[in-house]
């Protein structure tokens, strides 16, 4: 290895990460880059400028995903990257770290391969690319992993396009304003057919690595994950004049649901959360007439998700019946368990072992673009240790040293996979 390589990687990482971090950062230290806004447009401009400065060719696909290619785009392409958007008032690392790491790793790989290629032959057996998937968080239209699901044909496009943000703007109009033709949204089998594998690097959204004393994890899969909406219809009434015994107060069933989510989640080893509630009329002196809440459940297996769901719904329904409150529920989304490619994981493990880089295996409860693409091509994820484990929060943090350990691992993996195609990608 060129002795100047670590310093080159560090300088490039720190510079690119500082540039991207400045976009959408508010005075409290929170980052907000919702999809199809001025902030993501600025981040996309940063992506294009960075690509060109590093000698990569940038392009935007018809689903709004950005790609930057080293050499010609072509079959078997090996890509790395993540997303540029964030949740409302999120952190600087989620998504952004994977895109910056992708640029640094590809730049270092190009440098290393360029130096090592004595006969001036092709840099790599397959094209290398950096990707930034559009609207991963779904923070504006509740359309998580929009770009990656659209690419794979796993998005209900018509339903998604009619969704509206808090200001009443439809996704269709937001796409048009951002220069993406809504007509073009949908499966892109031609592009997908050119992808050989995706390795996504991401900040860990837990404190497992801190507890394990390890800087890196290799993802084994993504837990099954569902979201349900429950509507409780009672009767609004005056808090000061309506006797308790005649009230049809939906808040009691909501309370039962929240407690049941914790109890049943614990019992079934699931993560069950009531994190969003809408109450009408939402007055301090009014008995609520209508409550809607959303239940989010994730677990290691689908059976634990459905057992938790059934118990929470049963408890909620029973309380609603006692109070004369009508109960309705519907599933808003469900993502089956994802297992990342065992062959690709084995390959990454052996590369990293050879380099003396330690990893621990983790299965994550968070959705990722690599999960969406796992249905179409071999995918894998590397997670970088989070300091403190905060996710979707301005407190989210990873040390520069840990980020660089992740980048070094990613670089070794890309070089190994890109230069030994027959052994690597053909088998996975």
Nearer to Zn ion, 67 or 93 (CB): 93
| 61 lines the binding site for Zn ion (CB under 5 A) | no
CA angle 154, 406, 142 (to 5 degrees): 30
Q: Residue 95 or residue 127: which is nearer to Zn ion going by CB?
A: 95
Assigned token pair, 187: 């499966």
Q: State how far the Cα of 266 lies from the Cα of 24, in Å rounded to an integer.
A: 37
Query: What's 291's DSSP letter?
Result: E
Q: Nearest approach, Cβ of 100 to Zn ion (angstroms)? A: 13
Least distance from C-beta 94 to Zn ion, angstroms?
Answer: 4
CA distance 57 to 236: 60
Tokens of 305: 């998700």
CB of 316 to Zn ion, least distance (A): 31
Go through 78-102 and write b for each residue having 16 or more CB atoms within 10 A of its CB, e for each that does not: bbbbbbbbbbebbbbbbbbbbbbbb
To the nearest whole angstrom, how small is the minimum distance from the Cβ of residue 181 to Zn ion?
26
Q: Which of 154, 146, 174, 27 is nearest to 85 (CA)?
A: 146
Altogether, the residues listed in the chain come to a count of 428
Site for Zn ion in 263-302 (CB under 5 A): none
CA-closest candidate to residue 91, choices 407, 386, 291: 386
Closest distance to Zn ion from the beta carbon of 213 (Å): 24
By CB under 5 A, how many residues form the interface with Zn ion? 2
Q: Tell me whether residue 98 or residue 250 sits nearer to Zn ion (CB atom).
A: 98
If you write DSSP's letter for every residue of 369-399 in order, what string do you get?
HHHHHTTTS-EEEEEEPPSS---SSTT----
Distances (CA, A) of 231 to 175, 246, 257, 260, 321: 31, 20, 12, 16, 13
Toward Zn ion, which CB reaches closer, 137 or 264?
137
CB of 83 to Zn ion, least distance (A): 6
- The span from the CA of 76 to the CA of 317, in Å, is 52
Cβ closest to Zn ion, residue 94 vs residue 296: 94
Nearer to Zn ion, 95 or 371 (CB): 95
Quick note: the x/- pattern for Zn ion over 85-124, rule CB under 5 A, is: ---------xx-----------------------------
Residues of span 140-199 touching Zn ion by CB under 5 A:
none
For Zn ion, the closer of residues 133 and 293 by Cβ is: 133
Q: What is the number of other CB atoms lying within 10 angstroms of the CB of residue 105? A: 28
Q: How many CB atoms lie within 10 A of CB 368?
A: 28
Q: Alpha carbon 171 to chain centroid distance?
A: 19
Kindly tell me which of 81 and 265 has the beta carbon lying closer to Zn ion: 81
Closest approach of Zn ion to the CB of residue 96, in Å: 9
Residues engaged in binding Zn ion (CB under 5 A): 94-95
């Amino acid at each position: 290895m060129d002795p100047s390589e670590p310093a080159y990687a560090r300088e490039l990482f720190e510079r690119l990460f500082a540039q991207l971090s400045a976009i959408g950062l508010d005075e409290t230290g929170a980052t907000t880059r919702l999809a199809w806004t001025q902030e993501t447009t600025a981040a996309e401009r940063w992506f294009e400028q960075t690509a060109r400065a590093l000698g990569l060719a940038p392009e935007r696909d018809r689903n709004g995903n950005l790609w930057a290619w080293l050499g010609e785009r072509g079959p078997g392409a090996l890509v790395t990257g993540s997303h540029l958007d964030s949740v409302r008032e999120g952190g600087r690392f989620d998504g952004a770290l994977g895109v910056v790491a992708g640029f640094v790793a590809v730049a270092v790989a190009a440098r290393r391969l360029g130096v090592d290629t004595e006969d001036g032959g092709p840099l790599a057996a397959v094209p290398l690319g950096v990707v930034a998937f559009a609207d991963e968080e779904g923070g504006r239209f509740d359309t998580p992993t929009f770009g990656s699901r659209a690419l794979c044909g796993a998005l209900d496009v018509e339903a998604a396009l009619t969704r509206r943000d808090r200001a009443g703007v439809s996704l269709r109009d937001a796409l048009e304003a951002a220069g993406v033709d809504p007509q073009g949204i949908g499966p892109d089998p031609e592009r997908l057919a050119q992808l050989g594998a995706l390795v996504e690097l991401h900040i860990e959204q837990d404190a497992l690595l801190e507890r394990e004393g390890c800087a890196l994890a290799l993802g084994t899969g993504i837990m099954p994950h569902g979201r349900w909406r429950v509507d409780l219809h009672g009767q609004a009434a005056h808090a000061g004049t309506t006797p308790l015994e005649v009230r049809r107060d939906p808040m009691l069933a909501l309370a039962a649901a929240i407690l049941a989510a914790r109890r049943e989640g614990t019992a079934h080893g699931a993560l069950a959360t009531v994190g969003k509630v809408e109450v009408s009329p939402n007055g301090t002196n009014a008995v609520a007439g209508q409550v809607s809440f959303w239940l989010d459940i994730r677990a290691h297996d689908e059976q634990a998700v459905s057992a938790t769901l059934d118990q929470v719904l049963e408890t909620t329904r029973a309380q609603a019946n006692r109070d004369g409150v009508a109960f309705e529920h519907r599933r808003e989304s469900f993502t089956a368990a994802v297992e990342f490619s065992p062959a690709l994981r084995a390959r990454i493990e052996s590369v990293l072992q050879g380099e003396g880089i330690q990893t621990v295996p983790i299965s994550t409860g968070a959705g990722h673009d690599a999960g969406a693409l796992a249905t179409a091509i071999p995918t894998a994820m590397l997670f970088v240790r989070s300091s403190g484990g905060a996710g979707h929060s301005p407190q989210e943090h990873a040390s520069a040293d840990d980020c660089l350990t992740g980048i070094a691992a990613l670089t070794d993996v890309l070089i190994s996979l890109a230069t030994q195609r027959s052994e690597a990608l053909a088998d996975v």
